[in-house]
């Protein structure tokens, strides 16, 4: 190692899912939405005036903050917007997990949490999920420096009842509890309303999954005005102009088309329920999912082998080589047609 390298911040980075690019591929590995964004967003892109790009965007992302506040019946002071929920979550780690005490999150969860903790030198302790892949609320009622978990959890898909979430929030008045609701629009119950009851709650959501806009990078958070102010103070100390002009405009257009939003998320939930039946008939086992993916295992198949066999057919799913879950595959819910291709492969697999 060269001497200058001794003082470099060294981290083991997060590994995002593969982004393969084959014309015939079926991409079920990063929980993207198989349907296009709302038609109004395309129109917005076509009509965009490039002259606008000359100017910086509004640092507070006011237009989108106001629209989100209106949509969810909140005050604008209760809404924060960032570059995908990854950006919102990273800012939240930096802002709220400063005590030096370990923060708590599940052992099987979004694999970015330990990366941010390491990046920001935040100590953490993972709490094991139970055998059914459920979060045990008791594990989060001990001394800690903050709490974060997705609801529903990823990659398991399992939802925690709102009453249990409330117990965790009310049992931890001295720290901030972050509920990462990236997948909430696929049938879960949001903790959003609880921000009026608990100052220590931050609820994070995204346009990436249910609004088909992973490529646009729009995430947002709800909290009491105090918590949002702290988040904004850190954001403005890091990068004031996080949201670019096209994202702000296109995000607005997506929010305006409620009918399309309802239609596409219902379609995905419908396909998911059909897949639960079909996969169960093929002998797959999985916890009940309230997301746009299923986390499946099969008593007779090696998960890695199946993952590779699917990949050869250009069907991409996600495999995690990690303790407890290395015999599982996470399969994103695609269109019915994509699911049929997957099913016909699975029906003939190892016959």
**Positions in the binding site for ligand PMP (CB under 6 A):** 84-86, 110, 150, 154, 180, 182, 206, 208, 214, 219
Name the minimum Å distance from CB 180 to ligand PMP: 5
Name the minimum Å distance from CB 104 to ligand PMP: 16
Q: Which residue is nearest to ligand PMP (CB)?
A: 84
Among 114, 30, 65, smallest CA distance to 330 is for 30
User: Whose Cβ is closer to ligand PMP: residue 38's or residue 182's?
Assistant: 182
Among 154, 177, 181, 180, smallest CA distance to 166 is for 177
**What is the number of other CB atoms lying within 10 angstroms of the CB of residue 333?**
26
Angle at 227 between CA 226 and CA 230, to 5 degrees: 90
User: Whose Cβ is closer to ligand PMP: residue 211's or residue 298's?
Assistant: 211
**What is the number of other CB atoms lying within 10 angstroms of the CB of residue 113?**
23
CA 128 to chain centre: 20
Name the minimum Å distance from CB 135 to ligand PMP: 13
User: Residue 106, by phi and psi: left (phi above 0), alpha (psi -120 to 50) or beta?
Assistant: beta
Name the minimum Å distance from CB 189 to ligand PMP: 16
User: Whose Cβ is closer to ligand PMP: residue 84's or residue 187's?
Assistant: 84
Name the minimum Å distance from CB 82 to ligand PMP: 9
Q: How many helices (H) and strands (E) does the chain have?
A: 10, 13
User: Whose Cβ is closer to ligand PMP: residue 184's or residue 253's?
Assistant: 184
User: Whose Cβ is closer to ligand PMP: residue 67's or residue 346's?
Assistant: 67
Angle at 91 between CA 209 and CA 106, to 5 degrees: 65
User: Whose Cβ is closer to ligand PMP: residue 185's or residue 298's?
Assistant: 185
Name the minimum Å distance from CB 286 to ligand PMP: 17
């Amino acid at each position: 190692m060269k001497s200058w390298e001794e003082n470099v911040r060294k981290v083991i980075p997060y590994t995002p899912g593969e982004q393969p690019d084959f014309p015939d591929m079926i991409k079920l590995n990063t929980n993207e939405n198989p349907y296009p964004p709302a038609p109004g967003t395309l129109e917005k892109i076509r009509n965009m005036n490039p002259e606008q790009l000359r100017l910086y965007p509004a640092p507070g992302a006011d237009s989108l903050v106001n629209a989100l506040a209106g949509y969810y019946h909140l005050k604008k002071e209760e809404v924060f917007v960032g570059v995908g929920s990854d950006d919102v979550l990273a800012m939240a780690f930096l802002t709220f997990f400063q005590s030096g005490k370990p923060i708590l999150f599940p052992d099987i969860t979004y694999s970015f949490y330990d990366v941010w903790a390491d990046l920001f030198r935040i100590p953490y302790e993972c709490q094991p999920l139970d055998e059914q892949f459920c979060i045990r609320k008791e594990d989060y009622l001990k001394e800690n420096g903050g709490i974060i978990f997705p609801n529903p959890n990823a990659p398991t898909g399992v939802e925690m009842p709102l009453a249990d979430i409330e117990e965790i929030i009310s049992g931890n008045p001295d720290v901030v509890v972050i509920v990462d609701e990236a997948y909430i629009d696929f049938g879960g119950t949001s903790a959003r309303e609880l921000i009026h009851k608990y100052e220590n709650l931050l609820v994070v959501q995204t346009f990436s999954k249910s609004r088909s806009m992973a490529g646009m990078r729009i995430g947002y958070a709800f909290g009491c005005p105090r918590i949002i102010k702290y988040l904004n103070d850190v954001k403005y100390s890091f990068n004031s102009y996080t949201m670019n002009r096209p994202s702000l405009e296109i995000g607005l257009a997506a929010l305006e088309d409620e009918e399309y939003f309802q239609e596409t998320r219902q379609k995905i939930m419908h396909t998911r329920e059909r897949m639960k039946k079909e996969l169960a008939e093929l002998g797959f086992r999985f916890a009940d999912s309230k997301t746009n993916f299923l986390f499946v295992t099969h008593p007779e198949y090696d998960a890695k082998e199946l993952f590779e066999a699917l990949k050869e057919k250009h069907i991409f799913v996600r495999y995690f080589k990690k303790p407890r879950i290395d015999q599982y595959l996470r399969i994103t819910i695609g269109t019915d047609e994509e699911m049929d291709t997957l099913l016909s492969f699975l029906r003939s697999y190892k016959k």
